[in-house]
Chains A and B, each alone.
Chain A
Amino acid sequence: MLAVQMRGICKRFGPVAANADVDLSVQAGTVHGIVGENGAGKSTLMSVLYGFYPADSGDVAVFGQPAQIHNADDAIALGIGMVHQHFMLVDTLSALDNIVLGAEPHWLLRRATAQARARLEPLMHSTGLHVPLDTLVADLAVGDRQRLEILKALYRGARILILDEPTAVLTPQETLQLFAVLRQLRAQGTTVILITHKLKEVMALCDRVTVMRAGRVVQDMPIAQASIETLAQAMVGRKVQLGPRADAPSTVPHADAPPALRARGLGVCDALGVWRMQQVDVDLFPGEIVGVAGVAGNGQSELLEVLCGLRAPAQGSLELAGQRFTPDHWLDPLRARALGLAHVPEDRQARALVMEFAAWESGVLGYAHRAPYSHGPWMRKAAMQAGTAALMERFDVRPRNVRLKSSKFSGGNQQKLVLARELGQAPSVLLVGQPTRGVDIGAIEFIYAQLRALRDAGGAVLLVSSELDEILALCDRVLVMYQGRITGALAIADCSQTRLGILMAGGAA
């Protein structure tokens, strides 16, 4: 029996065909993977299924019945539930209130929650989705929030569960737990559609996989016939070499060279008096890439913000390019750039680019005050445009239109523009946060090559990433952060997926 059958789905945005004649059949009671690069049309297809927007043409049938899905309510009524990449939860309500919200079984809130609780207890028991129902969402761990989202969908009667990049925010251990739950759900007859970039996960979990590229289905096969290599090739349309390491670790001896950046005892305290980061020491030597592994939210963002001068720490010191900084006299971003420190922030849309600006205005962000971009108080528009055009050329940013608004570029191309800008300054220290988050596999390959090139040219790179594969593919040394502290410092030769995973989850290696 087919849980979902989509036939001939076409969806155009302006001149771009996001979905062109897409067919998708998902067997009931299976886990079906949909993989593809950014902009391949996975999300559009799922949005059509979940009723976010109507298809231009094509039919959808759910459990064999032709379906007209105009909005999320229709989708839920048909038994389709969706867990978004960014959780749709109200932080200030309890887990239980979040589940009930919008689907209250009684008009009196107390009765509604009581009835819901009575239904949820057996549901949690049978699926293994254990969530502390009375805890505020703000206090829940990321893994708990995700379980809560799934529970919410199931509570509303979802028999088909769409998961959009569910493991992007999870530790390896949490990922394993999630997979156990999904297998359990499959055994109970729930159909799961998994949208992901991560081919390993597809291989580990799915029964069948559909590969999309440029709005079309290019492959659809049972998992038994698939391999990571064939899937990657189908996604990108050519052979891809990402890792394991294509080169030997850096052999630059650091013992005698002075570090390009030396930080001691950094600590950051938030407005509530909670230590977000404590006693962090970092040494960056020329010619190495140091990885900071950790689950998002364990102090890595604070570390980046402190090192690039966006915020002053409460304690600690920093030495950079022969200058010493203390908390009362911390460096600011302009100063940091002047000292040869470049920064590719974690959140490119909020920080690294001004989305409203044309590409050439974003392409000089942070460097607009320098020659040749400015002359006294005046901006030199021609120089800025020429400079950005050169960056776009070098880093293959598409489309090559310096006048296009920054927000109109795809995620991967935005990231390439940011990297081009920061690497274009030939920095002696580069801080990089999540360089490939939401970036497609072809661009990842390119970004890795650029980071390695900077390292080989003698640059010191600090790479913060929650992707272990990325850390393992790029770094020479790895620091693991957990709850604001560095809990492990390993040479790359001593690293393994499991060992890092345990350290990231707070265990002892």
Chain B
Amino acid sequence: MKQPLPRWADLVLLPVVCLAVALLAAGAVVALVGQSPPQVLAALVHGAFGSARGLSYTLYYSTSFIFTGLAVAVAFHAGLFNIGGEGQATLGGLGVALVALAWAPLLPSWAMLPLMLVAGAVFGMVWAAIPAYLQAYRGSHVVITTIMFNFLASTLLVYLLVNHMRPPGNMAIESLPFAPSAQLPSAQAVLATFGVEWPSSPLNLSVLLALLCCVAVYVFLWHTRAGYGLRAVGASPDAAAYAGIRPQGKVMLAMAISGALAGLVGMNEVAGVSGKLVLEFVSGAGFTGIAVALMGRNHPLGIVCASLLFGALFQGGAEVAFDVPGFSRDMVVMLQGFVVLFSGAMTYVIAPPLAWVLRACGLSGVPHG
């Protein structure tokens, strides 16, 4: 028997309760290893939000999570589970780097940066389009193929870097640094032009790009005909076919957009931070995106919030590992694991008791159909 939660509780209260339960569980483990949970939590929050530098790092991590979270969400609305964000982001970075290496010495940055952006999106898009085609027209399940494409992307990057892109005589497995015109301005540089002093950090202009993508995804899904059709296919393929919407086309479209969004991680990591192509620059953002989308209920606004949370966990966690003696990096991973577990998988376990509590408090004004 399903007792629905009121909408406000479903969207706001439930995630907060889930997060609180996750923190309690993590706190219990922290206490078990002999640390003080309040001290660790304080260090975490302070590390993530307590200083301009900390905040910058938090936002920098969040940026990649927004891209990959949106990628998962768009596919999800079409009824597809895109696990391939990691690989699509890798290819996106490759696209950004290839364009930067080829043309950056010749073109100014106002031409370079849009070109790199397009290249990143197109590379991610193409990498997602292959599994999408196999799903739409050949029936291979997209979950399986996108996972495999993650491995392919990873080995492709290693191969290209080791054999073709590494400058001769260089021991480090990375490309040449990009020319200055291919460097996405950092937050520090941008704010300096407005006379604001800001500490040096990896935070760069792509955070604005990420927010722009949130708006674009929202408009696309809920205000365009294509988005309407895409959601119809996701919610009920039979009804979509009845309405004259071709599911194959929508599968291709959803995965293409999804791949393009994931590919933009390359703008943040490659063009914004490292300024050259390195190995493993995605570092799990593709997978974190799944948790982000899950927690953000596949809505852009929710994804921004969830990305901030995960960004804070990454940044604050690193600070905790640094500040609190005896608190290793692994403990931070454990904490992230609890958050994913409780806000993703355990939502449906926590919702019924919460509904019960709300009813008992007389707060459950559910309009019934």
A22, B243: Cα distance in complex, Å: 43
Q: A308 to chain B: which residues have CB within 8 Å?
A: 242
A14-B368 in contact (CB<8A): yes
A310-B242 in contact (CB<8A): yes
B369-A366 in contact (CB<8A): no
Nearest B-chain residue to A338, judged by Cβ: B244
Q: Tell me, yes or no, whether B102 is within 8 Å of chain A by CB.
A: no
Q: Tell me, yes or no, whether A91 is within 8 Å of chain B by CB.
A: no
Q: Tell me, yes or no, whether B1 is within 8 Å of chain A by CB.
A: yes
Given the interface contacts A310-B241, A379-B228, A381-B223, does A14 sit within 8 Å of B235 by beta carbon?
no
New contact pairs (15) apart from A333-B241, A350-B239, CB-CB < 8 Å? A14-B366, A350-B236, A350-B238, A351-B239, A354-B231, A355-B235, A356-B236, A361-B228, A365-B232, A368-B243, A374-B225, A378-B225, A379-B223, A379-B224, A399-B369
Q: Supply 8 A–B pairs (Cβ within 8 Å), ascending by A.
A: A15-B368, A351-B236, A365-B242, A366-B242, A366-B243, A366-B244, A378-B225, A409-B369
A482, B52: Cα distance in complex, Å: 77
Q: Tell me, yes or no, whether A84 is within 8 Å of chain B by CB.
A: no
A404-B369 in contact (CB<8A): yes
A309, B246: Cα distance in complex, Å: 12
A271, B225: Cα distance in complex, Å: 33
B1-A53 in contact (CB<8A): yes
A15, B242: Cα distance in complex, Å: 35
Given the interface contacts A352-B242, A378-B223, A379-B223, does A405 sit within 8 Å of B232 by beta carbon?
no
Given the interface contacts A377-B224, A378-B225, does A405 sit within 8 Å of B236 by beta carbon?
no
- Give the shortest distance, in Å, between B196 (CB) and chain A (any CB): 38
Q: A369 to chain B: which residues have CB within 8 Å?
A: 225
A333-B243 in contact (CB<8A): yes
- Give the shortest distance, in Å, between B80 (CB) and chain A (any CB): 15
Which one of B229, B232, B244 lies within 8 Å of A333 (CB-CB)? B244
Residue picked from B235, B239, B241, most chain A C-beta under 10 Å: B239
Q: A355 to chain B: which residues have CB within 8 Å?
A: 235-236
Q: Tell me, yes or no, whether A343 is within 8 Å of chain B by CB.
A: yes
B226-A377 in contact (CB<8A): yes
Q: A53 to chain B: which residues have CB within 8 Å?
A: 1
A308, B238: Cα distance in complex, Å: 14
Residue picked from B226, B231, B238, B366, most chain A C-beta under 10 Å: B238
Q: B226 to chain A: which residues have CB within 8 Å?
A: 377
- Give the shortest distance, in Å, between B262 (CB) and chain A (any CB): 23
Q: B364 to chain A: which residues have CB within 8 Å?
A: 14
Q: B224 to chain A: which residues have CB within 8 Å?
A: 377-379
Given the interface contacts A377-B226, A404-B369, does A332 sit within 8 Å of B244 by beta carbon?
yes
Nearest B-chain residue to A398, judged by Cβ: B369
Q: Tell me, yes or no, whether A106 is within 8 Å of chain B by CB.
A: no
A-B contact count (CB 8 A): 86
Give A255-299 interface residues, CB cut-off 8 Å to B. Answer: none
A337, B224: Cα distance in complex, Å: 21
B232-A357 in contact (CB<8A): yes
A351-B238 in contact (CB<8A): yes
Give A92-113 interface residues, CB cut-off 8 Å to B. Answer: none
Nearest A-chain residue to B366, judged by Cβ: A14
Give B333-354 interface residues, CB cut-off 8 Å to A. Answer: none
Given the interface contacts A365-B232, A377-B224, does A408 sit within 8 Å of B239 by beta carbon?
no
A53, B2: Cα distance in complex, Å: 11
Nearest B-chain residue to A53, judged by Cβ: B1
- Give the shortest distance, in Å, between B160 (CB) and chain A (any CB): 37
Nearest A-chain residue to B359, judged by Cβ: A14
A333-B368 in contact (CB<8A): no
B242-A356 in contact (CB<8A): no
Nearest A-chain residue to B226, judged by Cβ: A377
Which one of A309, A335, A368, A401 lies within 8 Å of B228 (CB-CB)? A368
Nearest B-chain residue to A409, judged by Cβ: B369
Q: A410 to chain B: which residues have CB within 8 Å?
A: 369
Q: B235 to chain A: which residues have CB within 8 Å?
A: 354-357
Given the interface contacts A361-B228, A379-B228, does A352 sit within 8 Å of B244 by beta carbon?
no
Q: B222 to chain A: which residues have CB within 8 Å?
A: 379
Residue picked from B225, B241, B242, B364, most chain A C-beta under 10 Å: B242
Q: A343 to chain B: which residues have CB within 8 Å?
A: 242
A333, B223: Cα distance in complex, Å: 23
Q: B367 to chain A: which residues have CB within 8 Å?
A: 401, 404
- Give the shortest distance, in Å, between B233 (CB) and chain A (any CB): 9
A354, B4: Cα distance in complex, Å: 19
Nearest A-chain residue to B4, judged by Cβ: A14
Q: A333 to chain B: which residues have CB within 8 Å?
A: 241-244
In the A-B complex, the 7 residue pairs with the smallest Cβ-Cβ separation, listed nearest first, are: A408-B369, A334-B244, A333-B244, A356-B235, A366-B243, A14-B368, A351-B242
B239-A353 in contact (CB<8A): yes
Q: B366 to chain A: which residues have CB within 8 Å?
A: 14-15
Give B157-173 interface residues, CB cut-off 8 Å to A. Answer: none
B1-43 to A contact mask, C-beta < 8 Å, 1/0 = 1011000000000000000000000000000000000000000
Q: Tell me, yes or no, whether A33 is within 8 Å of chain B by CB.
A: no
A434, B4: Cα distance in complex, Å: 31
Q: B238 to chain A: which residues have CB within 8 Å?
A: 347, 350-351
Given the interface contacts A356-B236, A365-B232, does A337 sit within 8 Å of B244 by beta carbon?
yes
- Give the shortest distance, in Å, between B232 (CB) and chain A (any CB): 5
A259, B234: Cα distance in complex, Å: 38
- Give the shortest distance, in Å, between B31 (CB) and chain A (any CB): 39
Q: A14 to chain B: which residues have CB within 8 Å?
A: 3-4, 364, 366, 368
Nearest A-chain residue to B1, judged by Cβ: A53
Q: Tell me, yes or no, whether A1 is within 8 Å of chain B by CB.
A: no
A2-45 to B contact mask, C-beta < 8 Å, 1/0 = 00000000000111100000000000000000000000000000
A110, B227: Cα distance in complex, Å: 55
Residue picked from B4, B235, B244, most chain A C-beta under 10 Å: B244
Give A222-237 interface residues, CB cut-off 8 Å to B. Answer: none
Q: Tell me, yes or no, whether A143 is within 8 Å of chain B by CB.
A: no
Q: Tell me, yes or no, whether A435 is within 8 Å of chain B by CB.
A: no
Give B227-277 interface residues, CB cut-off 8 Å to A. Answer: 227-229, 231-232, 235-236, 238-244
Q: Tell me, yes or no, whether A345 is within 8 Å of chain B by CB.
A: yes
A43, B2: Cα distance in complex, Å: 16
- Give the shortest distance, in Å, between A400 (CB) and chain B (any CB): 12
Q: B368 to chain A: which residues have CB within 8 Å?
A: 13-16, 408
Q: B239 to chain A: which residues have CB within 8 Å?
A: 350-354, 365
Nearest B-chain residue to A16, judged by Cβ: B368
- Give the shortest distance, in Å, between A20 (CB) and chain B (any CB): 15
Which one of B4, B225, B369 lies within 8 Å of A379 (CB-CB)? B225
A308, B242: Cα distance in complex, Å: 9
A335, B236: Cα distance in complex, Å: 21
A377-B225 in contact (CB<8A): yes
Q: A350 to chain B: which residues have CB within 8 Å?
A: 236, 238-239
A347, B239: Cα distance in complex, Å: 10
Q: A377 to chain B: which residues have CB within 8 Å?
A: 224-226
A337, B232: Cα distance in complex, Å: 18
A331-349 to B contact mask, C-beta < 8 Å, 1/0 = 0111101000001010100
Nearest B-chain residue to A367, judged by Cβ: B243
A381, B223: Cα distance in complex, Å: 7
B242-A345 in contact (CB<8A): yes
A297-314 to B contact mask, C-beta < 8 Å, 1/0 = 000000000001110000
Which one of A347, A365, A381 lies within 8 Å of B243 (CB-CB)? A365
Given the interface contacts A333-B241, A374-B225, A378-B224, does A354 sit within 8 Å of B369 by beta carbon?
no
Give B262-309 interface residues, CB cut-off 8 Å to A. Answer: none
- Give the shortest distance, in Å, between A186 (CB) and chain B (any CB): 33
Nearest B-chain residue to A334, judged by Cβ: B244
- Give the shortest distance, in Å, between A435 (CB) and chain B (any CB): 16
A16, B3: Cα distance in complex, Å: 12
Residue picked from A343, A345, A378, A410, most chain B C-beta under 10 Å: A378
